[in-house]
Chain A
Amino acid sequence: GQQVMQIPQYQHVQEGEDFTTYCNSSTTLSNIQWYKQRPGGHPVFLIQLVKSGEVKKQKRLTFQFGEAKKNSSLHITATQTTDVGTYFCAGPAVINKFYFGSGTKLNVKP
């Protein structure tokens, strides 16, 4: 079955530092989604990437989809305490059957 691996598992940063999480798939993905889950909350959709080499930005968040469509990254510039949570990538095995990565838990120290 499809595997979507995410690294690192945990990241502790000082407020103001940058943060990056990486997602790697064993197979080519038609698209990839990113979600954020606050502690005790439910996953909330952030963005979807579809095109090879695509880069999208949301304020301090930058999302990239690899040229081979097998990897993706999420980069946060100048983290804030509101960025705390777990970030998941999700890739489809078949249409609408999304498999989630293991997630990267981000802790931001004020």
Chain B
Amino acid sequence: NAGVTQTPKFRILKIGQSMTLQCTQDMNHNYMYWYRQDPGMGLKLIYYSVGAGITDKGEVPNGYNVSRSTTEDFPLRLELAAPSQTSVYFCASSSTAFEAFFGQGTRLTVV
């Protein structure tokens, strides 16, 4: 079982560049999430989605955008990358208010 797959695993961006972090899940989960984890810190919720076509902001949405056109995919878009966005990004999914399955993470460095 693939579970939650994130690509890429690593990326270095220059300040001002844009990129999309991909996330796909094959468990038919309605709920999907994007978190960021700064070094030695906890996870901060960026955006989440309760189903295709529905997204909402989390704790730290500024500088990011998301879309949910299908149940499987939940890409995270970074526009005008800034050093403050250097972090590890985790995508997760769940079927109900229960166990969340996390992807392996994308380690992003903005220089």
Contact = CB atoms under 8 A, between A and B. Distances in A.
Query: Do these two chains interact?
Result: yes
Interface of A: 1, 6, 30-31, 33, 35, 42-45, 48, 88, 90, 92, 95-103, 105
A103 B65 CA distance: 27
A28 to B, nearest CB: 15
Interface of B: 31, 33, 35, 40-45, 48, 50, 56, 58-59, 90, 92, 94, 96-105
Given A42-B90, A96-B50, A97-B58, A88 B42 contact: yes
A98 B98 CA distance: 10
Nearest to B103: A42
Contact of B41 (A1, A45, A90, A102): A102
A108 B45 CA distance: 29
A91 B33 CA distance: 14
Contact of A42 (B41, B98, B104): B104
A48 B95 CA distance: 14
Given A42-B104, A43-B90, A99 B45 contact: yes
B42 A33 contact: no
Nearest to B32: A96
Contacts of A100: 35, 42-45
B32 to A, nearest CB: 10
Given A43-B43, A102-B42, A95 B105 contact: no
